[in-house]
Amino acid sequence: MSLVLPRIKPQPLPPVYPQWEYLAEGDLHRNYEDYKRVFQVPWVGVVSMAYAHYPHFFNVWYKGLRKTVESSAYVECARFLRQHIETAISELDPPPVRQRLLDKGYSLRELSQIEDTIEFFSHGNFAQIPAVFAARALLEGVEIGAGNISAVKFEGHHGIDVQTPFILMEPHHVAGETTALYQDIMAVLQLPFINTDYRALARWPTYFEGAWNDLRDSIDTPAYNQITGNLHNEICEAVKHLPNPNTLTSSDIIAAASQDGNVEEILEMTKLFTYLLPGLTTNVAYFRAN
């Protein structure tokens, strides 16, 4: 039986209230640090920061899926999805940027640092995405795991180990051309915020402006929409097979969301993110390929 989660962008856009990591203190900061350790990523995704606005929901979702996320099946799911998009992206034929950057004066070390940063997201987005799609399924009354409560823990280390520091250019850090670039990204993607991926790559403004301009013309083309739609379907199919050792149920998630006051608001927000995430990961794969 297929896991059917239609890829529809909610209209109007639901409110999103990310609890930004750089502002987190106390219990929220500790929860974020634990989250990064469990998912083996250097940042908390915008979806999860938005979920943190609803503390009962966040707590039940995160703790309920914790053993799932730490399982070998989940790690293999993330790897499979990443391989899928990195193969599919060749259809968009990203133009090479390496020589352009060398001609601008970039060093090989700087190019390596850009590649490292893209690698953070190539790995880390897919480390987090299946958990978001699982949340949507549960919020819509669809159980996950199909009775599979056994999960072999992944004992290795799948996170990215590089020397390049993970630095984000927050909107209040930037000015001039980078501010205009952020505004263009939000306008093209129809978003009220800048994803972490773009805030990290904006550390190199002349690189990122060129990379974004290369990508910009491909967004919302038939080929791009086919790729993102296929990826959405692959994620749904992969999530269907994940184990559920903590037996997290739809009623658990909905009850927690009810405690936070607005189940429909959380569901609509999750629908928005499950619409956007295939596009985000396609964009990152494009940056990686060019």
> Is the CB of residue 240 less than 8 Å from the CB of residue 3?
yes
The two tokens of residue 90 are: 């060749």
Q: What pTM was estimated for this model as a whole?
A: 0.94
DSSP string spanning 29-59?
HHHHHHHHHHHT-SS--HHHHHHTTSHHHHH
Helices marked H in the chain — which ranges? 26-39, 46-51, 55-69, 72-88, 98-104, 108-139, 176-189, 196-201, 205-216, 222-240, 250-259, 263-289
- What is the distance between the alpha carbons of residues 263 and 255, in angstroms, rounded to a whole number? 9
What is the model's pLDDT at position 2? 59
DSSP code at position 10: -
CB neighbourhood size of 111 (10 A): 16
Residue 192 pLDDT: 84
pLDDT tens for each residue of the chain, 290 residues long = 557 799 999 999 999 999 999 999 999 999 999 999 999 999 999 999 999 999 999 999 999 999 999 999 999 999 999 999 999 999 999 999 999 999 999 999 999 999 999 999 999 999 999 999 999 999 999 999 876 778 899 999 999 998 899 999 999 999 999 999 999 999 999 888 899 999 999 999 999 999 999 999 999 999 999 999 999 999 999 998 899 999 999 999 999 999 998 899 999 999 999 999 999 999 999 999 98
